[in-house]
Amino acid sequence: MSLEQTNKQLVKSFWEAFSAGDQQRVLDAMADSATWWISGTMPISGTYDKAAFAKLLAGISDAMTGPIVITPSAYTAEGERVAVEAESMVKTRTDKVYNNLYHFLFIVRNGKITAVKEYLDTVHAQAVLCS
């Protein structure tokens, strides 16, 4: 398997674990030094180290009726970079529907995710997740 295929498979497995609510498997796919950046100016925007990302995941999960299901629609891989277009779906405990569109850029090195950039509809995320 090529480097690109291996990296793409790791990212696919990451989304399968994420959508199943398997936070330990999600974190295991990430390097200890990994960062996760969320676009915008929302309260949840910014750069998270792995420990802070784990807390963010737990907090968001607590606000939902189940795991956020992320459905990728396209992958593009080149070297250590894997780009993903995706859509999310979940219902919040306050009976709102969180259905967002994303572009993620993953950096994979030595079989681990080392960085992610998350671009999304921040107006929708602010209204549903941060209100």
pLDDT in tens, 46-72: 999 999 999 999 999 999 999 999 999
Q: How far apart are CA 62 and CA 59, in angstroms?
A: 5
Mean pLDDT computed over 20-35: 98
pLDDT band at 131; cut points 50, 70, 90: confident
112's tokens? 């681990």
User: Between the CA of residue 111 and those of 4, 8, 11, 37, 106, what are the distances in Å?
Assistant: 11, 11, 10, 20, 12
What CATH number has the domain spanning 3-129?
Answer: 3.10.450.50
| 113 in Cβ contact with 29 (< 8 Å) | yes
Of 89, 27, 82, 22, nearest to 52 by C-alpha is 27
Q: Does 110 have pLDDT greater than 90?
A: yes
pLDDT of residue 130: 85
Q: How far apart are CA 71 and CA 85, in angstroms?
A: 9
Q: How far apart are CA 89 and CA 41, in angstroms?
A: 22
Give residue for tokens 């080392």. Answer: 114
Residues 6+ apart with CB under 8 A from 39: 45, 117, 118, 119, 120, 122
What is the model's pTM?
Answer: 0.96
The four Cα atoms 103, 106, 90, 25 give a dihedral, to 10 degrees, of: 170
